[in-house]
Structure 1
Amino acid sequence: MTIAQPPVGDNLRERKKQHTRRAIHESALELVDENGLDGTTIEQICQRADVSQRTFFNYYPSKGAAALGLPETAISPETIAQFRQATGDLVPALCELVGEPADERLDRIRLKEVIHRRPELMPAFSQWMSGVREQFVQLAEERSGSRETALLAVTLVMAAFGLVVHDQSQNDAPAVDRLKEAVDRIAGVRTVKMVPPK
């Protein structure tokens, strides 16, 4: 059996898109490192990347997203299909849904370094994450049959994701494993006893 290859033109077009995306990201990151987020304009990024502002907004919604190199789509169709076919408990499946794209589409180490160096970029990251949160909720609701359960489960996993992103250790385990560990740590707080007052 032979597998149909995409037309050469499609490959070239995709390579050009990736080149443009990378050029915008690198230009934005350099400028933000040099001048800070407030001291950088989209016009400056476009000039350095040699693209129009219209092209910029085809790839990124903001200069913060460009500096962080956040992908257009947080969840691939393949990952969504895997989640819809998954069996077992909801929260571990959500960790897979959130964690696998994080490994595939985000350079986690570089992302943490950039946010540590430029904490003013954290709101851009948070805004990006909130933009995909509803998609996670909708998928979780499909599998749980309950909007409330979906909201609670996604809230737990997203809180764990926040811990993973802010973790300053050199732990380079897969994001899925780190997410599951963070979920357990959050759940474990419920049983912590208070220290008696002195």
Structure 2
Amino acid sequence: MNESATLTRASQRKLATASRLTALCRQLTAERGLNGFTIEEVCSEVGVSRRTFFNYFPSKEDAVVGVDEAGETRRFIEEFRARGSRGWPAVIDDLVDFAIQATNAAGLGSAEHAEFVAILEREPRLLARVIGMGRVQELKLVKLVSEREGVPLDDPLARAAVDVATAVLRSTADRLSDPRVAADFGAALLDSLAALRAVTAPAAS
């Protein structure tokens, strides 16, 4: 067996283990909440050691999210910069697109979406972890936006673009448990953005 084949199999085993850990953590969080189970319980069920768990995820929250947040953020920054300045509406579009990419990377398909809604009802703070829109991340986004658009860090338009994207994300999160909302987070997010633009559009003369 050559070295590349060995590495591929090792990577596949690692991915499979991470997927099992995430699936169980999501199930238990939906049923009991984050404080309702222990890492030891997860490790025993999956058949790995506590040390192995922490080789994959630094916390239960990260295991539930199930995505390489740092890696996803790096990829977004590179892509965001590469898209270049195309006007302020495009900034908001790009930020929303990142949120959709992040939820997709976290494995939120149709079945997983229903489970994740139950998780968010118990632990709404997890959504901020998935989409990386905490307060610290917001400040980093303002800096990133101002750099791409060529404006000062304190430019109100850069702050406003991030605030709008954040408001849309939080509004969508609040609506996720409503059965009338679109069947997946990405579609619901785009619906929220379209609604915002509709109500803020200039009145027809």
Report the TM-score when normalising by structure 2.
0.69
Query: Cα deviation per residue 1:33-90 (whole Å; 9 max; x = unaligned)?
Result: 4544322111111111222223222323332332x34312263655433321224122
Which position in structure 2 is the counterpart of 1:126? 128
Aligned counterpart in structure 2 of residue 58 of structure 1, from 52, 55, 59: 55
**What secondary structure sits across from 2:34 in the alignment?**
coil
Aligned counterpart in structure 2 of residue 70 of structure 1, from 55, 66, 71: 66
In 2, distance between residues paired with 1:63 and 1:174? 22
- Report the alpha carbon displacement of residue 15 of structure 1 after superposing the two structures with TM: 0.9
Aligned counterpart in structure 2 of residue 146 of structure 1, from 145, 152, 156: 152
- Report the alpha carbon displacement of residue 102 of structure 1 after superposing the two structures with TM: 2.9
What is the letter of the counterpart of residue 113 of structure 1?
A
Matches within 5 A, 1:73-92: 73=69, 75=72, 78-86=75-83, 87-89=85-87, 90-92=91-93
Aligned counterpart in structure 1 of residue 182 of structure 2, from 167, 171, 191: 171
Gap regions ≥5 residues in structure 2 = none
Query: Cα deviation per residue 1:116-158 (whole Å; 9 max; x = unaligned)?
Result: 3242222233245327545534432321233344333222212
Higher relative contact order (CA 8 A, sep 6+): 2
**What secondary structure sits across from 1:38 in the alignment?**
helix
In 1, distance between residues paired with 2:192 and 2:61? 26
- Provide the identity percentage: 21
Task: Compare 18-27 and 31-40 and name the one that shifted more.
Answer: 31-40
Aligned counterpart in structure 1 of residue 141 of structure 2, from 126, 136, 144: 136
In 2, distance between residues paired with 1:9 and 1:132? 38
Tell me the number of residue pairs that the alignment of Structure 1 and Structure 2 aligns: 184
RMSD after superposition? 3.3
